[in-house]
Amino acid sequence: MPNLTTVLNEEIRRLARKEIRAQVGKTQKQVAEQRREIAELKRVNTELNRRLNYLESQEKKRLKEPAEPKVIIQQADGTTEAGSTARFSPKWLAKHREKLELSAADYARLVGCSPLSIYKWEKGESTPRTAQREALASIRGLGKREAQRRIELMD
């Protein structure tokens, strides 16, 4: 027959282990949840830093670019109107949109107008106003990646 003290010590150890496991289990679950939250916050922080760096580089480029020369148009009645040297061609617009592989809706978001305007401009049914011509001139040199980034930033 086993010694009573030995049996009693084993039972105390067993109960103590059970209690420790119950307490540690709760803590382990909390630690795992906090680690998941920290990992998600790190991912968000990395994405935000990437976007910030992109925007800073774009702003630096914009500030380095010289201002587009303006042309003052003298009208017949003696008034003057500030115009832009930006030219417009329906063929160019269609080719540029095709080159960027953008829908009319996405291209319109870049320019700041409606998709219907883009269709009409491409067909030559209408021509853009001065503000839209300047917007078209500003996106003239965009590549596919740059256009996609700008659209993503607008979302």
| Between 45 and 143, the higher pLDDT residue | 45
My answer on whether 1 and 59 are in the same domain is yes
pLDDT score at 36: 97
The first and second tokens of residue 14, run together, are 């067993």
My answer on whether 38 and 96 are in the same domain is no
Q: Residue 119: which CATH number?
A: 1.10.260.40
Average pLDDT over residues 73-99: 70
* Distance (Å, whole) CA 88 – CA 95: 12
The reply to whether 77 falls in a domain is: no
- Given a cut of 50, is residue 59 above it in pLDDT? yes
Average pLDDT over residues 48-52: 95
The reply to whether 72 falls in a domain is: no
Dmax over CA atoms of the chain, in Å, equals: 122
- Given a cut of 50, is residue 73 above it in pLDDT? no
pTM, full prediction: 0.48
My answer on whether 58 and 5 are in the same domain is yes
DSSP 8-state assignment for residue 99: H
Choice among 81-85, 139-143, 150-154 with the minimum mean pLDDT: 81-85
The reply to whether 71 falls in a domain is: no
Please give the tally of structural domains in the chain.
Answer: 2
The reply to whether 11 falls in a domain is: yes
CB 71 within 8 A of CB 121: no
- Given a cut of 80, is residue 21 above it in pLDDT? yes
The reply to whether 78 falls in a domain is: no
Q: What is the CA radius of gyration of the chain?
A: 33
The reply to whether 47 falls in a domain is: yes
Beta bridge partners, 84, equal: 70
The reply to whether 74 falls in a domain is: no
Domain around 28:
1-65
3-state class (DSSP) for residue 74: strand
- Given a cut of 70, is residue 53 above it in pLDDT? yes
Question: What's the chain's average pLDDT?
Answer: 84
